[in-house]
Structure 1
């Protein structure tokens, strides 16, 4: 069965959302998060403040990236259930980072630069750090659900939560290093290195660590 293509209305909504977020991140980067208002973002994007709020309920949401969470959960769900939990989650984190940053090219793509700008804002802005923590909890739950462990088994659920939380913590360390390094080191490589340092050489597939 072929995948359903987005409707014209959905495509326009997605384009408007990307336009608003691009202007918001640019303004936050140039002038500082606290100095820019939602009205400023709306004016730069050529839309009303109501339109901004329709797409982004809070100012913090303008900086959050939700696509990687979906990618990670999809990769986890597609991984063999016979693999160790850490391998399933860790490999998904590396695969999603590869997809989000444009693969193996040496030059940063526009999407990768945008992701780097968003993460830089999250690291440097207290209000965004708190919001980012909330998103990490949501990611953890999405990954635990994707693992498909028997929810009626408390021990299995605990193991899934512990493994996922530890992998996400390793990823966060890699994201912080990526920002400090200004994107010079490939993000998938940093995540793989953080996972290997935490759990050993079997944390991710061998080809993902190369």
Structure 2
């Protein structure tokens, strides 16, 4: 049996350290996988070969990524976005706050991370198994966004207004990702997202 965590700040610091270590391992596994995908192709790369490259066991791999497709779909950006959204000034309405949050996350991610995200997004759109799991990923992001908006506005997170708002944002992001992949990353994703959300903010004038 493990010993109880220390109380107060020390316990929080220990938990933070564990989470950082887990995030570092998760990122290392993903980096090795993406390198192998680029070298061998997605279908030819096995979970066993990824685990070997990352110097972990296949069982450890599955503790971090339930399936190979999750390597393409899971990242830290959704919680980063929710946190950046919460940091925006309280006077901002949800859409302007969300635009600012996306811009902040893109800046924080940096060019290398965005290049990796572009590669993952391209594969996620072309690998049938990943496309099938994308809906689950989008629904999770919608729930995360609905909770953040409800927290900001005091509205019911399960109410129709909040759910429709979150769904509209997710819907706006789909053509953004497609345009980003088609441009080969030439147009910054932060600009594409901002343009899409500005259309939502303007009531989708068509």
Whether the 8 Å CA contact 1:93–1:171 is kept in 2: the answer is no
In the alignment, which of 161, 174, 195 is matched to residue 193 of structure 1?
195
Query: What's the offset of the Cα at 1:53?
Result: 1.4
Which whole-Å CA distance do the structure 2 matches of 1:130 and 1:28 have between them? 19
Which structure has the higher relative contact order (CA within 8 Å, separation 6+)? 1
Whether the 8 Å CA contact 1:140–1:168 is kept in 2: the answer is yes
Cα gap change, 1:186/1:196 in structure 2, threshold over 3 Å: closer, same or farther? same
Whether the 8 Å CA contact 2:145–2:166 is kept in 1: the answer is yes
TM-score w.r.t. length of structure 1: 0.77
Cα gap change, 1:95/1:169 in structure 2, threshold over 3 Å: closer, same or farther? farther
In the alignment, which of 138, 141, 144 is matched to residue 140 of structure 2?
138
What per-residue deviation string (whole Å, max 9, x for no partner) do you get for residues 190-209 of structure 1? 111122234329xxxxxxxx
Which whole-Å CA distance do the structure 2 matches of 1:34 and 1:63 have between them? 13
Name the structure 2 match of 1:78: 87
Which whole-Å CA distance do the structure 2 matches of 1:23 and 1:118 have between them? 13
Name the structure 1 match of 2:6: none
Whether the 8 Å CA contact 1:85–1:163 is kept in 2: the answer is no
Match status 1:57 vs 2:60: no
Whether the 8 Å CA contact 1:89–1:167 is kept in 2: the answer is no
Match status 1:150 vs 2:159: no
Which whole-Å CA distance do the structure 1 matches of 2:82 and 2:194 have between them? 17
Query: What's the offset of the Cα at 1:139?
Result: 1.0
Match status 1:114 vs 2:116: yes
Query: What's the offset of the Cα at 1:118?
Result: 1.0
In the alignment, which of 54, 74, 77 is matched to residue 45 of structure 1?
54
Name the structure 2 match of 1:179: 181
TM-score w.r.t. length of structure 2: 0.79
